[in-house]
Amino acid sequence: MTPEHHFGSNLVAMVTPMNDDGSLDDTSLDRLVDHLIAAGCDGIVVGGTAGEAPTLTDAESAWLVRTVATRAAGRARVIAGVGTYDTASSIERARRAQECGADALLLVCPYYSRPTQAGIIAHCTAVADATDLPVMLYDVPARTGIAMEASTLIELASHPLILAVKDAKGDLFEAMSVMSATSLAYYCGIDELNLPYLAIGAIGLVSVVGNVVAERNSRLIRAVREGDLAAARSIQNSLLPFTDAVMRTSQGAIMAKAALAEVGIIADPAVRLPLLHALPEHRRLIVDALAVTS
């Protein structure tokens, strides 16, 4: 099976819909899953950064995976974010995600504790060994405080279940180097760089803006695969105002929720502390960007 079969290509880093009191909003969650699949999303990342994973309890994380897997009903792959800074906890989350119906795992580099590269390899190997689900590594040094070095990625690629990388590092040369040395499938994890990553060989996206514009991302992927870079640039350029509003104004989860509430997909743009609701001036930027993007 190809990595695309395991994970999809047009993936969305799904937000976690919440009510104003911070409880999870199951009605909006069902509506969001249906919206994403109808828009061409073939992979849904649950409990990742955009899903406010650090604020979710173990029970909530398990419920999210089970609910999304049931709602998706095979129409899209469900990739569960299971990484923490503790290997034992990550292993437990991985096993629970498999029990709840996840198709694959997203495993972030351990954050805060800043392990050595050997520690990263040991951590990722232990989690990958804990289930029989395919694993996508998540390299996001701006959040974790430490990067997965190229040599680390190359070594981890020898594990039979570590098949892909969500690259939010932004080092295109390193990405090309790892792709040339391994069979790891690359997914762009930086919406601002979706087109460059696809152009150098990434097979897909894990997109925050895709919560609202998954259909546009699907067209972008198709244009690059067909070798129509002029069309790809046109699509990417049309997304620049919205990408800027979501990714460079405040914080991705905050702004994606504001946009989803604006278009009526979720009922409330609520986030959990330490995140705060989008400011009125930021919501206006979303409204203006949506008007230009649509």
Here the CATH number for the domain that contains residue 159 is 3.20.20.70
Is 224 part of a structural domain of the chain?
Answer: no
Q: Over the stretch 94-117, which tens digit does the pLDDT of each residue have?
A: 999 999 999 999 999 999 989 999
Percent of the chain with pLDDT over 70: 99
Catalytic residue among 85, 111, 112, 166: 166
Does residue 138 carry a catalytic annotation?
Answer: yes
Q: What angle do CA 28, 285, 204 make, to 5 degrees?
A: 60
Report the chain's mean pLDDT, rounded to a whole number. Answer: 96
Q: How far apart are CA 230 and CA 288, in angstroms?
A: 25
pLDDT at 69: 98
Within-domain flag for 226: no
Q: What is the mean predicted confidence (pLDDT) over 264-277?
A: 97
pLDDT for res 2: 77
Is residue 287 one of the residues assigned to a domain?
A: no
- Asked whether 107 and 137 are in contact (CB, 8 A), the reply is yes
Predicted structure pTM score: 0.96
Share of the chain above pLDDT 90, in %: 97
For residues 272-292, one letter each, b for 16 or more C-beta atoms within 10 angstroms of the residue's C-beta and e for the rest, the string is eeebebbeeebbebbeebbee
Query: Domain total for the chain?
Result: 1
Cβ neighbours, 10 Å, residue 194 = 27
Does the residue 256 lie in any domain? no
pLDDT of residue 292: 86
Domain membership flag for residue 49: yes
pLDDT at residue number 5: 82
What value does the mean pLDDT take over residues 235-240? 96
Asked about 166 being catalytic, the answer comes back as yes
Domain of 92, in residue numbers: 3-218
- 108 within domain boundaries: yes
- Return the pLDDT at 294: 62
Tell me, yes or no, whether 264 lies in a domain: no
**18-45 tens-digit pLDDT:** 999 999 999 999 999 999 999 999 999 9
Which entry of 85, 111, 112, 138 is annotated as an active-site residue? 138
Per-residue pLDDT, 222 = 98
Mean per-residue pLDDT, 146-162 = 98
258 lies in some domain: no
Query: Residues 176-234: pLDDT tens digits?
Result: 999 999 999 999 999 999 999 999 999 999 999 999 999 999 999 999 999 999 999 99
